[in-house]
Amino acid sequence: MKFWEFIICIIISAATVVFAVTPYIIGKVKLKRAMQPLEFYPPRGYSPIDVMSKYCSYNTNPRSALNPLMLYWASRGFITIEEDCKRGLKLTKLKELTPPDVAESEMTNQMKNNFKIEKELFDGLFEGGIELYTLAAPTSLQTTNNDFVKKCKEKAYKRRTKNTKLYSALTLMSAVVSLILVTIINGVTLGGQHYIAMLFPIVAVILFKAIPNEDSLTTIIKYPFICVWGGAPLGMVLALSSPDGVITICVAVVASLITVWFSMRIDIRSDRDVRIYGRICAFKQFLLDAEKDRLETLIEENPNYYFDILPYCYILNITKKLKEKFDNITTDGPSWYLGELRDTLMF
């Protein structure tokens, strides 16, 4: 292989990575520059699921959302929670779940869809009666929770902005095109029909993106299958190639994998979503930075402040960091919980 042909192959691979990294950085910079005024509460009318979807976007992972939702429902008067040493937590349904008490104009389509999914989970949990014990629940409730998780992920993925979808598709396409170009250059300059086997790794790159990780079984099957499908032919190509061919093919494959990785993480949000994200970040940062005196003042103004924000602390994954602060602040237990709430659910 001539020097300039070798350089062209390396440039193609490098350009592919740069093409993928650029929109990824644009999305991150846009979020970093989001306006973040001082916020003592999450956005008004937002449930924990709303905050999760706005904070995490389509990378939402709702598997740990049940505890914050239980607290959220209890604080709004839909259920009570009682500790049971043998059967876990006893949930008692008081009334049907209703949307947040906000004006219709403030309820976005995303919030309405989130509430629909949330209500399906609520109704499924109490399908067998008004009482539920978390450690003695029927197996059907596991299915109910799994359906909730799946629907949350599906909705979050569908809410990707047009720019996110476009750049994700283009970066994946660039990964495939770069592999094809490098393979053609190697096949033409170095000769040998064994480069036809590169069709398998090229298809593997497409499959890696195309097959969603909907459940653990899919994930367990997906990665070994793709590794064997693309890895075995790739190994044969490398074994039969010259040193120049090995280097350019390896660089192209690594660059394509990096490109696919970034294509799945591109997140360019709308201006409205960026503003909400900034408010959620401001709320989170306030809780992390707030002094004890400031938190005590808020609790004096609103005795339920601690329990109002607790579900969102779960979602933002900051409960452990706040433990020391709230352990030193005296709060009366809520009427809807019987037991040591702070030890059992929060930490």
Summarised one tens digit per residue, pLDDT across range 265-320 is 999 999 999 999 999 999 999 999 988 888 889 988 988 888 889 999 999 999 88
Give the angle subtended at the CA of 115 by the CAs of 138 and 308, to the nearest 5°.
90
Question: Rounded to an integer, what distance in angstroms lies between the CA atom of residue 31 and that of residue 66?
Answer: 27
Which residues, listed in sequence order, are joined to residue 88 by a DSSP beta bridge?
A: 84
In this prediction, residue 25 has a pLDDT band, given cuts at 50, 70 and 90, of: very high
pLDDT of residue 217: 67
- Whether the per-residue pLDDT at 92 is higher than 80: the answer is yes
Average confidence (pLDDT) over 113-118 = 93
Please report, for the chain, how many H helices and E strands are present, in that order: 14, 4
Average confidence (pLDDT) over 257-261 = 91
Strand 337-338 with 79-84, pairing: parallel
pLDDT, tens digit (0-9, with 9 covering 90-100), for 45-73: 999 999 999 999 888 888 888 889 999 99
283 burial via Cβ count (<10 Å: 0-12, 13-18, 19+): buried
Average confidence (pLDDT) over 98-112 = 84
DSSP 12-40: HHHHHHHHHHHHHHHHHHHHHT------S
In this prediction, residue 347 has a pLDDT band, given cuts at 50, 70 and 90, of: very low
pLDDT above 90 coverage of the chain, percent: 39
pLDDT of residue 1: 65
Over the chain, what is the mean pLDDT?
Answer: 86
* Percentages of the chain per state (helix, strand, coil), in multiples of 5: 70, 5, 25
pLDDT of residue 346: 43
What is the CB neighbour count within 10 angstroms for residue 51?
24
Question: Rounded to an integer, what distance in angstroms lies between the CA atom of residue 234 and that of residue 237?
Answer: 5
What is the CB neighbour count within 10 angstroms for residue 62?
25
In this prediction, residue 213 has a pLDDT band, given cuts at 50, 70 and 90, of: low
Contact 45, 114 (CB under 8 A): no
